[in-house]
Structures are given as C-alpha cells and as structure tokens.
Amino acid sequence: MLAATPRLLVASDFDGTLAPIVSHPSDARGLPAAMSALRDLANLPDTTVAAVSGRALADLAEVAQLPAGVRLVGSHGAEFDGSPPPLDPAQRELHARLSAALESIVGDVSGAWLEGKPAGVAVHVRAAEPTAGQRILAEVRAGPASWNGVSATEGKAVIDLGVVHVDKGTALTALRRQTDATRVAFFGDDVTDEKAFAALGDGDVGVKVGPGETLARYRVAAPADVAELLTTLAAARRRRH
C-alpha cells in the first residue's frame, strides 16, 4: 500500500495537474484543496513532496506559491531547489543563438510568446491563432530543434528547447535517489510527463490527468480529482503515523 511505505516520494506536474490550464500561464493557480493536501503530506515524517515542472524555477516559485516544504524542480529537471544549471561557454553561446533564432520565428504573432529559462527557451502557441501557431511549431522543429546540442521536448502547444539534456524521468529518478524513497507517486497531464511515468517501478503509482495515450497505470479527468487523491493519500499516511 502506497500510504504505508517507509519513505514516500509524492511528485507532480503543476499546470494541468495541480492547477487548471489557463490561456495565460502567469494566471495559473493551484487548487486550494491540492495545496492543502501537499502541505499535509510535506509535514508528515518520511514523506517528500515535489513539484516537477517545465516552467523555469523562478517562474514556478512565483506563480505556483506551493506550501513550505515542497521541493521545486524546474525546466524539466535542469533546475533543482533554486540551483541554476551550470553552463559551459559553448552552451551559453548556443543559448544566445537559440534565443535569437526563436525570436525571429515567433516575431509579432499575437498569442505566441517565448519563455526564457536558464538552460533554454520554450515556445508557447496556446493563445495564438491555430494556423499561425502550427506554422511556428513547424519552423521550430525544422530549425533550432534540430541543431546539435539542443534538446527538444514537446508538450501541449509548446516546444521546450534546452542546451542541457534532461527530462522529468531523470529528475524523478534523481529525487528518488536523494530521498531514498521506497515508493513513488507521480501525477501529470502532459506528454512531457510520460518520461516520469516511464521511470516508475513496481509498487510505484502513476496518475495521468485527462485524455491521451499514457504509460500511467491510473487516470483521472481533471486537477480537482488530483486534489481529492492527494487529500485521501495524506489522510491515509497520517493514520499510518
């Protein structure tokens, strides 16, 4: 039983999982019930709680405002607990080239925007006119995403390009190792979360939010269901202690 494991790691994506998807990412807010459950879990012995997001770490901390004790992992695992990834001179030069090329591709298309990160740049087109958005993504795939040294991660209406090769699976594995977790639960909604689901082992629990193919064993419909599951898990683990 997950709640009874000696050392539990509970990790989750933020957007679309702890918070409903919104047109403007800066407006995203975690559901109060989810925030309360995360706080309860983080306060329990031998229990680690983490948010693993594609957002840059500073942006995640500012927007999510997660409870104290929740570990923050940004940029798909490139940023851990407030530490920016170290870049060598070649990576810094590639980062600058990447930013310039993407600015040229996105131009002044309404609803499309760039999210700068310490180790990369994300191209968002969710709020753009669909044809224009698809054109931008196609140009990014054919251009900067194919460059040597660039790691491309596609999500829903977003392509995240990085000069450091990481993903949510390697981030979850690192968290497991750091916390010596005996079981792991991971919640996510996007295609970028599939790497984390793939990193789960026997006895771990993966929960996919919403439709789409997934490696997760379980599925729920919406962030409100995640909040309910987290609340139930916190209560069960509290009884165990």
Cα–Cα nearest to 161, from 133, 188, 174, 142: 142
Strand locations in the chain (E): 8-12, 47-52, 70-74, 79-80, 113-117, 120-124, 151-155, 158-162, 183-188, 205-209, 218-220
Distance CA 25, CA 15 (A): 8
Distance CA 156, CA 54 (A): 12
Q: Which two tokens stand for residue 165?
A: 């090769």
Residue 54, Cβ neighbours under 10 Å: how many? 28
Q: Which two tokens stand for residue 177?
A: 């190792």
Is residue 13 part of the annotated active site? The answer reads yes
Question: Which of these is catalytic: 13, 59, 160, 190?
Answer: 13
DSSP of 138-201, one letter per residue? HHHHHTGGGSTT-EEEEETTEEEEESS---HHHHHHHHHHHHT-SEEEEEE-SGGGHHHHHT--
Which amino acid belongs to residue 59?
Answer: D
Sign of CA pseudo-dihedral 134, 139, 142, 143 = negative
Active-site positions read 13
